Structure formats: structure tokens, C-alpha cells
Amino acid sequence: MKENRMHNFNAGPAALPLPVLEEIRDEFLNYKGSGMSITEVSHRSKWFDEVINDAKSRVKRLLKLGDHYHVLFLQGGASMQFCMAPMNLISEGQSADYVNTGTWSTKAIKEAQIQGKKVNVVASSEDKNFSYIPRDISFTMGAAYVHLTSNNTIKGTQWASFPDTGGVPIVCDMSSDIMSRPFDPALFGLIYAGAQKNIGPAGVTLVIIREDMLNRVPENLPAMLKYSTFVSKNSMFNTPPCFAVYTCQLVLKWLEETIGGLENMEKINREKGAILYDVIDNNDFYRGTAEKDSRSMMNVTFRLPSEELEKEFVAEALENGLGGLKGHRSVGGCRASIYNATGIDTVSVLVEFMKEFARKK
């Protein structure tokens, strides 16, 4: 099976662990003796109940979340959270702090503003084309929350550690680095992540909300846009994206049982990042686009001497079974997304290809 699979550097939807895909295949026609596919059973059945509850428990164990955190599986992508977070969590007369570190933060800010919410953009790296993570930020005392994007998928930057916000809860878009490393959950009031980068297929968004944040949810919101609706219904107010949740469950199981948790996952991710940045730093042919202390361990962005060569690089890589290396259409250049499911072996193949390509040119 492995032989004809591509070395997958897609930014999202992205690679999934091969053992997970094999498990899905093996039980696809007859899920645990039910005589049905998991895509055919009721979301009210004992089979799906077990799936969603197991997925929730695994999220809690992997992230070491206390019982005052609720784990939800929602729809609408991370983009829906850009609107839901301010709608639910900024009360009348309050404002929220946002740090603008790229395309996704810019969208999050806009979605809060169009609702008439007061947004303080307390820091931005737009002055240098979002190539760094701002430091020494003054946050607003009494703000509803501080919004951060932990990893900037398009620009290739990542918060190495989270800032001290003076007790103001952080609301964080972790779409492209959730489960890639451990962190202290106590800083966060809300975490959200579209699944399709690091934990599953498109169609489901993982949302983690702290109990006290629920007190802010206004009564008069539509049910589908209220966090409290999904907390009280175990994410099943309406039909959830069953197959996406099931795939996430298997990825989370792989993370716990095969990888051995987030400390191990982080070690592997650091090693992958190190060998890739090493070839970029030690070869005049390649130039990393993010400042060194802001570099992402998930999305490695780089340029070649010309756009012509970049095109050639992406095409020749593909001929050699390495796919998904084109940078985001808004920025150009090249990008290797090396999420959890992309192994060191795959990154090593890329590194060898990069060395050889540079040598030939």
C-alpha cells in the first residue's frame, strides 16, 4: 500500500496517518459487527455515541484538560469560529484584543468588526509581510479576550510560547498546530481548530471552551450559533459530521497509542523542522521567509532564486512523488506542510530532493 502513496506536503486538507486510513478501510463495510458502515449508522446509536465520547476523552487526555473544559465538534470550519467567538464572548460594552499575524487573523478581526464589536488590534506584523510573531505586547486590561493564531499556515510563523496576557483569557485559532505540541491549557478560554490540517478530514471543527466562558453567551442568539447549545447536547443538537468525527477519533487514538502523546509528537515535529530548516539555512539556493525565532514547525515557507525556478521545483518534485509544495496563492514561493502525519522519512526524502535540485541548478 505504501509504495504508491505520495509524499504529501499539502497544507489542508492534508496527510492522515496511514494506519488510520487502513483502519477506516478495514472496518468501512461492517463497523464493529453492526453490519453497517459507520457512515450508515444513526448518530443516536450506541456505535456513534462511543465514537464521539471516546474522541472527547482522548482530546482531554492528550491536552490534559480539567473537567471545567468542554470539548465540542462543530461545523462551519475555523472560519465559522471567527464569527462565533466574538458573537458569544464579547458582552455589551466590552472590547477584545486581537494580534494580527497573517491572513487568518485578518479574517478573524474582520468577522468581529462586521458585528459592530469593538476590536483592539494590539499588535501586528503586517509591516514586514507577517514574517514574524510580535513581542512585548501591551494587552488591554479588562478585555473580553485576547485572540491569537498559534500557527500561521500561510506565512509559516508560529508562537514559540504564548504571551502573558495578565489573566485575560486567550481565544486561540489552533487550526494548523493543534496536537503538535503540549501547552498549558489554563491560559485559554476558547480553542478552535478546523480538523483538516492536523487531526482529521475537512467537515468538523474541534472547539474547546472553558466553563466560565459560557456565562457570557447571550440568550438571544440562534441555537446553531451558541456554544451553550452544543455543550448541553454533547455536540449533537443536530446531526454532527459523523464520519469526520470518527476519523478524528482514530487519529487521536493513533496519537495516544502509537505516538505516545504530545511530548513525543513534539520531539518528532522538532526533528522534522530541524532537518528541513537546516537545508534551507545551509544552502544559498533556498531562503526561508519567516524570521528564525518565529519559524513554524508545521508550515515551512521558502523561496528559490526566481519564480521560474520555483515552478520548476514544484513540478519536478511532483514527478518524484513529492506533492503539495506550492506556496499559498496569496504569497507564492514554496511551502512544505509537515503536520503530525507527515513522518521523518517523508521529510528526509524532501531534504534529499532539495539538495539534489540545488546542486543541479
Ligand X SMILES: *Cc1c(COP(=O)(O)O)cnc(C)c1O
Cα 193 to Cα 180: distance, rounded to the nearest angstrom: 12
Interface with ligand X (CB under 6 A), residue total: 12
Of 47, 97, 104, 226, which one is the catalytic site residue? 104
User: Length of the chain in residues, anyone?
Assistant: 361
41 vs 325 by CB, closer to ligand X: 325
Q: Is 131 in the site for ligand X (CB under 6 A)?
A: no
Q: Binder to ligand X among 101, 165, 175, 346 (CB under 6 A)?
A: 175
For residue 164 the three cell numbers come to 502573558
Q: Is 201 in the site for ligand X (CB under 6 A)?
A: no
Q: Is 180 in the site for ligand X (CB under 6 A)?
A: no
For residue 139 the three cell numbers come to 494587552
17 vs 203 by CB, closer to ligand X: 203
104 vs 277 by CB, closer to ligand X: 104
Provide the residue type at 124 as one letter. Answer: S
Of 117, 197, 226, 326, which one is the catalytic site residue? 197
Is 278 an annotated catalytic residue?
no
SS3 per residue for the chain = CHHHCCEECCCCCCCCCHHHHHHHHHCCCCHHHCCCCCCCCCCCCHHHHHHHHHHHHHHHHHHCCCCCEEEEEECCHHHHHHHHHHHHHCCCCCEEEEEECCHHHHHHHHHHHCCCCEEEEEEECHHHCCCCCCCCCCCCCCCCCEEEECEECCCCEECCCCCCCCCCCEEEECCCCCCCCCCCHHHEEEEEEECCCCCCCCCCEEEEEEHHHHHHCCCCCCHHHCHHHHHHCCCCCCCCCHHHHHHHHHHHHHHHHHHCCHHHHHHHHHHHHHHHHHHHHCCCCCEECCCHHHECCCEEEEECCCHHHHHHHHHHHHHCCEECCECCCCCCCEEEECCCCCCHHHHHHHHHHHHHHHHHC
Contacts to ligand X from residues 70-99, by CB under 6 A: 77-79
For the bound state, the minimum distance from the C-beta of residue 89 to ligand X, rounded and expressed in Å, comes to: 17
Q: Is 194 in the site for ligand X (CB under 6 A)?
A: yes
Candidate segments 173-181, 222-230, 248-256, 274-282, binder of ligand X by CB under 6 A: 173-181
163 vs 203 by CB, closer to ligand X: 203
Q: Is 198 in the site for ligand X (CB under 6 A)?
A: no
Of 155, 173, 226, 272, which one is the catalytic site residue? 173
For the bound state, the minimum distance from the C-beta of residue 260 to ligand X, rounded and expressed in Å, comes to: 26
Cα 109 to Cα 204: distance, rounded to the nearest angstrom: 22
Q: What mask, x for binding ligand X by CB under 6 A, covers residues 10 to 29?
A: --x-----------------
309 vs 331 by CB, closer to ligand X: 331
Is 47 an annotated catalytic residue?
no
Q: Is 342 in the site for ligand X (CB under 6 A)?
A: no
Is 197 an annotated catalytic residue?
yes
Residue 18 near residue 2, CB atoms below 8 Å: yes
149 vs 247 by CB, closer to ligand X: 149
41 vs 176 by CB, closer to ligand X: 176
Contacts to ligand X from residues 139-158, by CB under 6 A: 149, 153
For the bound state, the minimum distance from the C-beta of residue 164 to ligand X, rounded and expressed in Å, comes to: 22
For the bound state, the minimum distance from the C-beta of residue 77 to ligand X, rounded and expressed in Å, comes to: 3
Catalytic positions: 104, 173, 197
Binding site for ligand X (CB under 6 A): 12, 77-79, 104, 149, 153, 173, 175-176, 194, 197
